[in-house]
Every structure is written in C-alpha cells, then in structure tokens.
Structure 1
Amino acid sequence: MPEGLRVYVEAIPGTPLPHGILGSPCTTVRDVAEDDIHELNGVEWKALGCCPVLHWPDPCEDESPGDESPGPPPQKEFCRPATEHASPITLYGGTECSAMGWTYAEARAHVEATIALGEQHALEMAFWRNTLAMVAADVTPAAGPVPIAQGVAALEGCLAQEYAGVGTLHVPVGAAALLGCCNLVREEPETGALRTLAGNCAVIGSGYSAVNTGPGNIPAEPGTAWLYITGPLVIRRGPLDVIPDRPGPSVSIRTNDRKVLAERTYVVGTTCTVCAVQIEVSS
C-alpha cells in the first residue's frame, strides 16, 4: 500500500430519498418569495372537505302510516367549517472550520450542500413530533400492534370517516419494505407517486424512522413502528438564508475560526384528521 500524504478531494455527494416529504409527488411544495414572507409566520384557513355531503330523503319513499302525525318536516343540516392552522418550522445547519483551512466561499458551499441533503430528514422529524404525534387519534386495537396490512386498512378507514378526498400515509423508512409484502402500495409510472389500492398517497421518511413515536410522542416499543395518515399536505418553503452573507463577519478574531450558518423556514399544513396505528415490524 502506498504511503504518504492523503490527497484532498471533493466530498461524496448525496441525494435525499425520493419519496420523502419534500421529494414525493404526494405533497404540494410552494416556494414563498423573499419579498412576501408573511406566510412563514404561520397560516390559518377554513377546512375544506371535512363537512359531510348528506343525502336528502325522497318524500315518496316515506312509509309512515297515513293516520299518524308525520311530525315536523325534515330539516337540512349545516356544517360550520373548522378553522385550521399550521405553525412555522425553522431548520438550520452550521459549518465551522479554521479560517486558514477554508475560504468563505468553500464554507458557504458546504453548509448549503448540508441543508440540501439533510433538510427533508429534519422537516420530517419536526412535522412528526410537532403535528402528527400531537393530534392523532390512535386506532390501534386493544390487543396491541397489528400486521402492516391491517394497520394500513385501519388508517384508511379512519381517514375515510372524516375526509372523502385523497389522503397521505406517513411511513417510517424502517417499515417501508413491509409495504411490498402484500402489495400495499404501487408506484405510478407517470408521476412516481406511491399509492395504496384505495388511492391514498404514501410518504416514506427517514426522519419519520428516526423519531418513531406514537401519539403524545411516546417511543415505539421494540419490534414495532407507528404509521400515520392525514389529509393532503401543502408545504410552504421559505428562501434559504445564509449568515453572514459576506466573508468578514464569518471569522472570529478570538479563535480565528470561520462559522457560516444556513437556515430555512417551512410551514407544513394538512387538513381534517390525523390517525395513528402501531404495527409489528419484527416477530
């Protein structure tokens, strides 16, 4: 084996997982312009699709006896839409190095690449902890965790009770391989989206797998995982801020170290309901 000084080369590039929360065709990502970032403070809206569409009975089908009082005429029901909201999630990455070793341009390029590779993972972790695990209804049977096919069926049934549109299944990477055992999802050739037989989308997240907590953020028991289902996702993505934006302030005159920070704010919204189920991932 040759000996001597190692040669400095470029970093090994990486690619975020294709079916994560930012890469999946199942989610709508909207970039917020730098000159209008008010939406990044959080948003609220009137829920759409959570109010039921009801059946009005045909009066000719009334089989009540004619000699009895029919009672008051039926009244049509009205639903008051709920006000929903989504709060901001700010993600950041920081690079620190010796000012003698890296230029500002190199440090900035490194932290920007760090964000590009890792922000999907971090956003999945934050959305799971702050939203999914905090508001979900647990549909796990009293007997305990279930096989993944039974879990997906329970989640889709839970969503269908509240929402008639296409929903989003949230699956940790650690359980994703099990989706193929029963052909629970298929990949659409045209869009690349993963869909269940019912038509709901599936997002598979490495950040989900890193957290893997149930409602209330209680950690999953060994050999189990949590799945969630929601309505559709709309993600507002802010511009990437790099601090400082010039070389001078990036260097500490006390330590002669260079620090460059990059951060971005997201607002992740979903609608109507969130359901959770605990599944078996090993026997």
Structure 2
Amino acid sequence: MAAGLRKYVEAIPGTPLPHGILNACTDVRDVDDVHELLGVEWMALGCCPVQVWRDPCLNDESLGDESPGAPVQKEFCRPSVEHAEPITVYAGSECSTMGWTYTEAREHAEASLELGEQQAVEAGFWSAKLAMTATDLTPAEGPVSIAQGVAALEGCLAEQYGGVGVLHVPAGAAALLGCCNLVQPDPATGSLRTLAGNCVIIGAGYSAMNTGPGNLPAEPGTAWLYITGPVVVRRGPTETVPDQPGASVNIRNNDRRVLVERTYVVATTCTVCAVQVTTCP
C-alpha cells in the first residue's frame, strides 16, 4: 500500500509504571511556592538513636561500700540539617509549521511529559542523590543474590533509622523479587512491601541508570539496589516555553518548537545504603 493512502490516527497512549517514584511509596506534594522549588532544607528527624538507660544503682557492680565513681552520663545527639536539590525535567516537540499548529505541538509535548516525567525524575534522583551519598554494603567477594541484598539493605536501614523506608529497585531487576517472595502487594495502599514493611519503588529511570556509588556503571549481569528513609516529592506546575504561538516559530527554517517542563524536589532522610546484586542465576 502506498504511504499516501494511510489514514492519520491518534497516537497510541501509554501509562507510566505503576510502582514508580510518583506513586504510593512517596508523599507527592504539589507546590506553587517557587522558593520550595529552588531546593529545601530541614532538621533531620529520626536519625538520632533512642538509647536504653541502665540505672547504675541497679548494677551488681555498684553495690558495696566503695564509691561507684563518676555518675553515668546520658548521651545527647545533635540533629543534622539535611537538604534536597531541584530536578527539572522537560519534553520538547519540534515540527514544521505546515504540519502542526502551536496547540497541537503543545499538546504533544504535554502528553510526552506526562508519560515520561516519572522515569526522568527517577534517573535524576538516582544519579544526584542515591549514587552520590550511599554507603556500599557489597561484600569484598562481590555481588550477592537479590535476597541477600535486600536483607543487607533492610538491616542497614533498621540500624540507622528504625522506621519504614523505601527500597529502590531498577525495573530490570524487579522480576527477581518474586523468586523468593521478597515483595508482596499491599491492598490498602496499592504499594509493594517487603516482609519487613518497607515500601518498594520499581523504577524505569533506575533501570536506565543502574549505577553504583559514585555513579560507576554496573558490570554486566548485575544491578544496584538502594534503600533510604521515607521519600517526599515536591512537584511544581508545568511551564510551557514559549507560551505564545508566534515565538515558537524559527523563521529561518519555518520549524516550530514547544517545550514543556516541570521542577521536582525529591527528599529523603537519614541514610542511603547500596548493594550490588547478581541478575543471572
């Protein structure tokens, strides 16, 4: 059939992965305050350990006629100030003015952003935060099984934070979570949970990056997993550039360009741990 006889139809719609960073595992907040979208900082909560007090008067060694010495001092923790930087994601459409109107180009860019922004936010958060601040738990012998990796990560989070956190898994390794029943769906929230209760993000953007601490690429047949404290996502409104039809046209070649972008600030707290796992049996 000749190409000229084809009927023009609407584009095939898509749906972002259901367990990505903009879904049930995170607290997504739509904000209009430009100051929040420039980055945020806060006093960390939950990163200081709660200690067990042992009364020296009840210690057998303290009994007797001799002085027990200097009194036992309770420990104090100075909370740290944490921060998160902005991640701006965008989608642009370019076309001939003979083919698309400004409205059509804008709608195409908006639809592209809606479908792909989750993946872009995941890639930005992975490369700027996870891979740059993590403690590597991979043993000297090399990558471990995914069950061993999840166990090590959850142990790290439990020791350093103690609350419910988030396990970050590349989409390319997600199927392995089912091999040992590591993850179960939570009907109440629509999220995925480990047996320890941590929420699980399965990210397309994570899979695209798949780098270890320092953003070093994973070796073939391996993947990197991370774990963090809770994740809060601040999301700004979409912005269209340009916002008028005339400015979108390049008069030199009669092409039209429309850009739609949005700024996110993704924040987590207390600790980031990483481990390299094998993806091949």
Shorter-chain TM range is over 0.9
Which residue number in structure 2 is paired with residue 15 of structure 1? 15
1:218-251 C-alpha deviation (Å, 9 max, x unpaired): 1101100000000000010011000111211111
CA distance in 2, matches of 1:160, 1:206: 26
The aligned runs of 1:1-283 (5 Å cut-off) are 5-23=5-23, 25-33=24-32, 36-64=33-61, 65-283=63-281
Q: Which moved more, 1:246-255 or 1:201-210?
A: 246-255
CA distance in 2, matches of 1:59, 1:163: 28
CA distance in 2, matches of 1:60, 1:189: 50
Q: Cα distance, 1:4 vs. partner?
A: 5.3
Q: Cα distance, 1:150 vs. partner?
A: 0.4
1:107–1:3 distance in 2 versus 1, CA, 3 Å: closer
CA RMSD of superposed structures (Å): 1.2
In structure 1, what residue type is equivalent to 2:45? L
1:101–1:49 distance in 2 versus 1, CA, 3 Å: same
1:3–1:121 distance in 2 versus 1, CA, 3 Å: closer
Q: Cα distance, 1:76 vs. partner?
A: 1.5
Where does structure 2 lack aligned partners over 5 or more consecutive residues? none
1:170-207 C-alpha deviation (Å, 9 max, x unpaired): 00001000001111011011111111011011000011
- Report how many residues are paired: 280
SS of residue paired to 1:268: strand
1:131–1:212 distance in 2 versus 1, CA, 3 Å: same
In structure 1, what residue type is equivalent to 2:190? G
Q: Cα distance, 1:104 vs. partner?
A: 0.6
Determine what percentage of the aligned residue pairs are the same residue: 72
CA distance in 1, matches of 2:239, 2:2: 44
- Contact kept, 8 Å, 2:56 with 2:72, in 1: the verdict is no
CA distance in 1, matches of 2:114, 2:276: 31
Q: Which moved more, 1:50-59 or 1:117-126?
A: 50-59
TM-score normalised by the chain length of structure 1: 0.96
CA distance in 2, matches of 1:101, 1:111: 15
Q: Cα distance, 1:59 vs. partner?
A: 4.2
TM-score normalised by the chain length of structure 2: 0.97
CA distance in 2, matches of 1:217, 1:240: 29
SS of residue paired to 2:121: helix
CA distance in 2, matches of 1:146, 1:164: 24
